[in-house]
Structure 1
Amino acid sequence: MASLQHSSSFHHRTMFLNSLPHPQFGLQKHGVLPVFRRGFSFLVRAEHASLASSSISQDKCGRRQMIAVGVIAPWVSLVNQTPASFAAESKKGFLSVTDKKDGYSFLYPFGWQEVVVEGQDKVFKDVIEPLESVSVNMIPTAKQDIRDFGSPQEVAQILIKKFLAPPNQKTKIVTASQNDVDGKAYYTFEFVAQAPNYTRHALGAVSVGNGRFYTLTTGANERRWDKMKDRLQTVVESFKIFNV
């Protein structure tokens, strides 16, 4: 298998690994610092205040109805204004993300914050433990199935060594396997990446759909792996691609 071409430019991120049968995708290189995205601004519409003031002249029944409207309407307005990618609690201790535009969904641990990282479609991380994070990356591909790129072990090895860990880190694949969900094939893998001052233990999931190669990765510092592994496994297992 031939080696991959290293490049951090946007142009080369769209090239696939040269070692696979047909070069169709590439991944963003490491080393980009995250920037926190501005938080949501929740605005109460002016008409709610108008409704509240006009309710004073109503009878008891009318006042109760207006109070109910004043409580419910802001939440209805909030739901209607949220983007397609909206986090909502779906499992105890987790929040869910559904990106209707790009066609994927996953869970992440409650308390992680969304950050912006160049080259990544979506990133959530623990601000106290920065190695605890989850990210999603998408690259165009003409392939229809993840199996067209090789075996789970082959794909995982190239992704890890060339894109998911800096070149100065020692990496090791722990496991790599295929899972079928609703008729779609996913490759999942576990690996460790050793840096001079820390070791990151990580999990990944990849699949193909909508003309794109999707990659989700999540992990934690090795010293916290035993505490975090079940939660990170939930993140990986929750990753789903749907048609858009």
Structure 2
Amino acid sequence: MALLQHAPAVDRALFLNSSSSSTSFHQLMLQGPAFFPGHLHRRRVTFEVRAGASPISPKDCIVEGPGRRQALALGAITTCISLTYANSASFAAEVKKGFQSVVDQKDGYSFLYPFGWQEVIIEGQDKVLKDVIEPLESVSVYMVPTTKQDVRDFGPPQEVADTLIQKVLAPPSQKIKLVEAAEHDDDGRAYYTFEFIARAPNFTRHALGAISIGNGKFYTLTTGANERRWEKMKDKLQTVINSFKVFDVYGG
């Protein structure tokens, strides 16, 4: 699979203000295509948080009083922090029948994926799951640092989606068509979602994507299927996109 030689253009167009102290967008993209991963590595154990946890408020974690009471409460504070993350994530990725959840408490995102998809390790990607029989049916998440606070700071949905697709999500050899792009707000955070078609000489992939900003990172989730299976898979893939949530990580 060819590397994304046009990644520097996206670096300039979308991530000019990204932090230079972390892996740059350019360096990340040179490791391989974000949307059509070509290198499968060893499987990784995943951790899931199931929906239905009892709500817990940060105020429940406040410990008052000096001396021994505070010392004894340190373990409780740690537990509270963990449960707070779990509770936020469980609401962000409410499990539906036929789906499983991914909750990344360290990086601050969650989403659902169809039951049966398997996780694979792909260099440059934070999370990738795919169908073992239909390899074009997959979902992937990757992140790059940014100093922007809102995805809207990069421009309108169609402009940002088109740049991302053309320069990052597909090799330059493929013919790309942006079907639509839209914006929505969830819990005060802006998300861009988009649909596109990528045509290669030997296959056509119909795909959906979602992007947002949080925790000093630009998050991108993409999912899709072979065009011949689009009608069968589109509702499931839309569920994946709709479930994608970015949540604040504290103390990371």
For normalisation by structure 1, the TM-score amounts to 0.72
Q: 1:209 aligns with which of 205, 209, 214?
A: 214
Give the Cα separation in 1 of the matches to 2:119 and 2:5. Answer: 30
Root-mean-square deviation (Å): 2.6
Q: Which residue of 1 aligns with 2:40?
A: 34
- Alignment partner of 1:134 is 2:139: yes
Q: Deviation string for 1:67-108 (max 9, x for gaps)?
A: xxxxxxxxxxxxx9xxx899x992100000111000000000
- Alignment partner of 1:6 is 2:6: yes
Give the Cα separation in 2 of the matches to 1:107 and 1:241. Answer: 13
Q: Which residue of 2 aligns with 1:48?
A: none
Q: Is the alpha carbon distance of 1:217 and 1:38 closer, same or farther for their aligned partners in structure 2, counting shifts above 3 Å?
A: closer
- Alignment partner of 1:149 is 2:154: yes
Give the Cα separation in 2 of the matches to 1:151 and 1:5. Answer: 25
Q: 1:230 aligns with which of 224, 232, 235?
A: 235
Q: Indicate if the aligned counterparts of 1:89 and 1:95 stay in contact, CA closer than 8 A.
A: no
Q: Is the alpha carbon distance of 1:204 and 1:34 closer, same or farther for their aligned partners in structure 2, counting shifts above 3 Å?
A: same
Give the Cα separation in 1 of the matches to 2:182 and 2:44. Answer: 38
Q: Which residue of 2 aligns with 1:19?
A: 13
- Alignment partner of 1:124 is 2:129: yes
- 1:156 CA drift (Å): 0.5
Greater strand fraction, Structure 1 or Structure 2: 1
Show structure 1 runs of 4+ deviating over 4 A: none
Q: Indicate if the aligned counterparts of 2:15 and 2:146 stay in contact, CA closer than 8 A.
A: no
Structure having the higher Rg: 1
Give the Cα separation in 1 of the matches to 2:192 and 2:128. Answer: 20
- 1:22 CA drift (Å): 3.6
- 1:144 CA drift (Å): 0.3
Q: Indicate if the aligned counterparts of 1:16 and 1:23 stay in contact, CA closer than 8 A.
A: no
Q: Is the alpha carbon distance of 1:221 and 1:142 closer, same or farther for their aligned partners in structure 2, counting shifts above 3 Å?
A: same
Q: Deviation string for 1:207-240 (max 9, x for gaps)?
A: 0000000000000000000000000000000000
Q: Is the alpha carbon distance of 1:21 and 1:151 closer, same or farther for their aligned partners in structure 2, counting shifts above 3 Å?
A: farther
- 1:20 CA drift (Å): 4.0
Give the Cα separation in 2 of the matches to 1:151 and 1:168. Answer: 26
Give the Cα separation in 2 of the matches to 1:238 and 1:21. Answer: 25
Provide structure 2 residue ranges, at least 5 long, that are not aligned to the other structure.
19-23, 47-81
Q: Identity rate of aligned residues, in percent?
A: 67
Q: Indicate if the aligned counterparts of 1:34 and 1:117 stay in contact, CA closer than 8 A.
A: yes
Q: 2:170 aligns with which of 158, 165, 168?
A: 165
Q: Indicate if the aligned counterparts of 1:36 and 1:114 stay in contact, CA closer than 8 A.
A: no
- 1:16 CA drift (Å): 5.2
- 1:180 CA drift (Å): 0.4
Q: Which residue of 2 aligns with 1:45?
A: none
Give the Cα separation in 2 of the matches to 1:223 and 1:233. Answer: 17
Number of paired residues? 192
Q: Secondary structure at the match of 1:227?
A: helix
Q: Secondary structure at the match of 2:165?
A: helix
